Amino acid sequence: MGMFNSILADLTCPVTGGVTPDAEIQINWQEPVARALQVYHTGDQLEHLCPRYDSTRVKTDYACDSCSRKTVGRDGLSCICAADQRWHCVFVEIRGGRIGRILTESEFQALANAAFVDDT
Mean pLDDT, the chain, as a whole number?
Answer: 91
Q: Each residue of 48-82: pLDDT tens digit?
A: 999 999 999 999 999 998 888 888 878 888 878 88
What pLDDT score does 91 carry? 97
Q: How far, rounded to the nearest angstrom, does the alpha carbon of residue 119 sit from its chain's CA centroid?
A: 10
Whether the per-residue pLDDT at 83 is higher than 60: the answer is yes
pTM of the model: 0.87
Cα gap 11→116, rounded to integer Å:
19
Q: Pick from 90, 88, 92: which is nearest to 67 by CA? A: 88
Q: Each residue of 3-25: pLDDT tens digit?
A: 789 999 999 999 999 998 999 99
Q: With bands split at pLDDT 50, 70 and 90, how would you rate the model's confidence at 99? A: very high
For residues 16-54, one letter each, b for 16 or more C-beta atoms within 10 angstroms of the residue's C-beta and e for the rest, the string is: eeeebeebbbebbbbeeebbeebebeeeeebeebeeebb
C-beta separation of 14 from 105 below 8 A = yes
Whether the per-residue pLDDT at 1 is higher than 60: the answer is no
C-beta separation of 4 from 37 below 8 A = yes
The DSSP bridge partners found for residue 95 are 98
Q: How far, rounded to the nearest angstrom, does the alpha carbon of residue 41 sit from its chain's CA centroid?
A: 10
